[in-house]
Structure 1
Amino acid sequence: MKDLDIDPKQKAILEAAWSAFASYGYRKTSMDDIARGANMSRAAVYLHYRNKDHIFQTLVRFCYDMCTAALSEALSRDGAVSDVLEAAFLAQGEIIVKPMLSSAHGMELLEAGNTTSSEMVHDGEARLREIYASWLTQRVDAGGATLPGSAEDTAALITSSLKGAKVTAGSYEDYCRSAKLLASVLGAGIAR
């Protein structure tokens, strides 16, 4: 939450909510838990957010905002295709995957994201695909890569592969190993 440029009260609510979701899981977290963590009354929390779903949706949106910024920054660096992809995959994972896999309730939180915030997840994943597709197109145009299909299809393969790595990883370290392997394989396959 350190990068959120929002009202301090809303930031306190979101930080308290993330802490409660990570500690108790989505289903067991109450508005009282969130209010207590933010050092506010429940009524004060309701002045900013309609309900727990609204808070969670806001968290999902901010995670994707931070993730797209980190991804764009990682892809703007020079280097071998596999090295840049590895940095990008790890930057993306640091924002979304690490907090999820560090919580005993990570899979429940992933599920909650898909059920309560499906539109935000869909939009966030589309933004990630666009960033990867744009980077791939630039690499191809500069003569540094060749693709067997379109940049959009390759970007979709990247995001779906990373999503699969996130869901199947037993730990953040497992995810990082998979992300590094994926970067190495893709880099070797598309680097010119």
Structure 2
Amino acid sequence: MIGYTLLGLIVAVVAYAIWAYNALVRNKNLVAEGWSGIDVQLRRRADLIPNLIETVKGYAAHEDKLFRDIAELRTKSIAGGTVAEQSAVGQAMSQALGRLFAIAEAYPELKADANFRDLQDKLAQTEDEIQMSRRYYNGAVRNLNTMIESFPSNLVAKQFAFEKAEFFEIGDAAARDVPKVDFKTR
């Protein structure tokens, strides 16, 4: 009787180890899939930027430094890198594009240009897709990291050298701050 109990316990432990290993592999692959989604959207944004720059250049040629900065950020984005590096480049790119759109506000004929509006709409749609991809990726990272840190799956994770993944976070600490609203009249 003790032999069957011991055999049953061993079978249960082995079955759990197999399940935990497969779950860790599945979560690791979901993280890779999530990163791939972010990468696709970052490339799409990088592909739209030269067209947007050329359209704006015709109206605001004197903004050469901003155009060079955006081109440099685009190159860094295409080059890839770690999650933290891509996050920092993405944050800087969003700020630079914000400055570009602020410049466009000063040129009513540019804002009326159909090509510019189309590019602006595509870029806005791409930014939304990047945000959705980030959420998916971060959810997959959360699930993987939870399994790696939770007992008893952490034993399997440690045995097979699974490593925690890095979240895709906002690079600018000021962007995380809650805005202050003051309704007092002075």
TM-score in same-fold range (> 0.5): no
Question: Is the radius of gyration larger for structure 1 or structure 2?
Answer: 2
TM-score w.r.t. structure 2 length? 0.30
